[in-house]
Amino acid sequence: MLNLSAENIQLNATAHSKQEAIQLVANGLISNGNVADGYQQAMLDRETQTSTFLGNGIAIPHGTLETRHLVQQTGVQIYQFPQGVDWEETSQGGQVTKEGESNKAYIVIGIAAKSDEHLGLLRQLTHILADEEIANTLAQTDNLTHFIDLLSGKKTEELPAISSELLSLDLDSISLLTLSAINASKLHERGYVQPSFLQNILANRPLALGDNLFLNDSTEGNLANGIAVARNKEGKTLITISATNYLFVHQLTPLFSLTTRQKITVSPAPQIIDLLSNTAENSTSANTPEQSNHSISRTFTIHNAHGLHARPSAVLVNEAKKYQATIKVQNLDKNSPLVNAKSLMKVVSLGATKGSILRFVAEGNDAEQALEGIEQAIAAGLGE
C-alpha cells in the first residue's frame, strides 16, 4: 500500500522540463532516505529506454534494473504540477501527442522499489487512470488531505452531503462574513472545496431567504456536494452550499419553505441534519431501495456511555423487529451506508459511540410507529 504523508507529497510545484521534474522527485527520495545518490541519473536513463508517462496526466519515473542496488527503502515521492510538464518532447521541443491525447504530466510519482513492488503501485493507480475526473482534481487541488484521499482511492462521492462536522451552532458573531468564513473553512478542511471557493464566497453577499435564514454558494472551487450550516445564538443562520451538479442545487429548493426556514433557525443539530439529509439524498438516490418516496426518516443521538456494544444493540434490534416496516439505519458521523436495523451484526458494525447521530429510514404501514418506538427505546437507554 502507498504510505502517503506531507513528507512525500509536494503540491503546487513548478518545473520547466521533464528533467527538472525528475530531479525534484529524485531529490525528495534521497532526502527521505529511500535511495542513494545516483538514482536521479538512473531515472533519466529509464526515460531513454521507455517513457514512464501513463496517461491521464500521470507519470511514474523510476530507476533501471541495473540500479536497484541504489534503493535503500521502498517508497514514493509525489509532485503536483498544476501547470503541467511536457513529458514527451520532439527534438524541436514540441509536445508529442498519441491519438490526440496530451502527454503533459500534472502528477509525477517518483518510485523507489527493490524488486517488482512498483507493479503493486500500478494496480493501485488503476482507479485514477480510468477516471479522468479524479485525475483532473488531483492536478488542481491544493488540499493535502483531499489529495491523499483521492490518490488512495477515496472518491469525493464518499463525502456525506451533510454531517455534524459541517454544523456550527450557538456562535457569538452576528456577522454574515464571519459565518461565511466558518462554513467555507469547514468545507475546505474536509475536501469539499478548493481555496477559490473561499475567495468567491467571501467576496459576495449571501442571499436573504427570510426568517433570519441566509444562503450562499460559489461558481468556483466545488469538489463535492456538501452543505455547511452556521448559526449564532440569536438564530441568524447561514447555509453554504458546495455543489458539483445542477440537480443537487435544484433539489434544495423545498428546504426554503416557510416551515423549513423556521425549523432550521431553531432546531438542534440532529433535526437540522435530518432536514438536510432527506433533501440532499433525494438529489442522487430518490426512488432507490435505500430511500424511496414512501419512506420516512428520523435522526437520534446515542447517549449510552459505551456506545452501541452488543447489549444495547440487541435491544435496538429487538425493538426494530416488533414492526413490519422495513427499517434501515446509518451512522451519520462515520458516513456509513444504510444497513438493516433488524440485523445485530449490521447494527454493531456501525461503530456508534456516545454522541453518535444515527439516521433511521423506515418504510411500511407502521413506519411512523416504528420510529417512535425506536426513539423511546434510545431515550430509555437501550436497556442500560
Q: Which active-site residues does the annotation give?
A: 62, 309
H-type alpha helices, 69-125: 117-124
Phi, psi (rounded to 5 degrees) for 72: -100, -30
DSSP assigned state of 63: -
The C-alpha cell that represents 199 in the structure block: 475567495
The whole-angstrom separation of Cα 166 and Cα 335 is: 13
Determine how β-strand 207-210 pairs with β-strand 167-171.
unpaired
H-type alpha helices, the chain: 18-31, 39-49, 117-124, 126-129, 132-140, 144-151, 176-189, 195-203, 246-251, 258-264, 269-285, 310-320, 344-348, 367-379
Which residues, listed in sequence order, are joined to residue 86 by a DSSP beta bridge? Answer: 104
Helix and strand totals (H; E) in the chain: 14, 14
Q: Taking a C-beta distance cutoff of 8 angstroms, is the pair 302, 355 a contact?
A: yes
Beta strand extents in the chain (DSSP E only): 9-10, 53-55, 58-59, 75-86, 104-112, 167-171, 207-210, 213-217, 226-232, 237-242, 296-301, 326-331, 339-340, 357-363
The whole-angstrom separation of Cα 311 and Cα 153 is: 35
The C-alpha cell that represents 323 in the structure block: 414492526
For every residue of 209-253, DSSP letters joined together read EETTEEEEE-SS-B-S-EEEEEEETT--EEEEEE-SSHHHHHHTG
Closest by Cα among 113, 28, 24 to 70: 113
The whole-angstrom separation of Cα 187 and Cα 135 is: 21
Q: Which residues lie below 8 Å from residue 126, measured CB to CB, with a gap of 6+? A: none
The whole-angstrom separation of Cα 204 and Cα 256 is: 20
Determine how β-strand 9-10 pairs with β-strand 75-86.
parallel
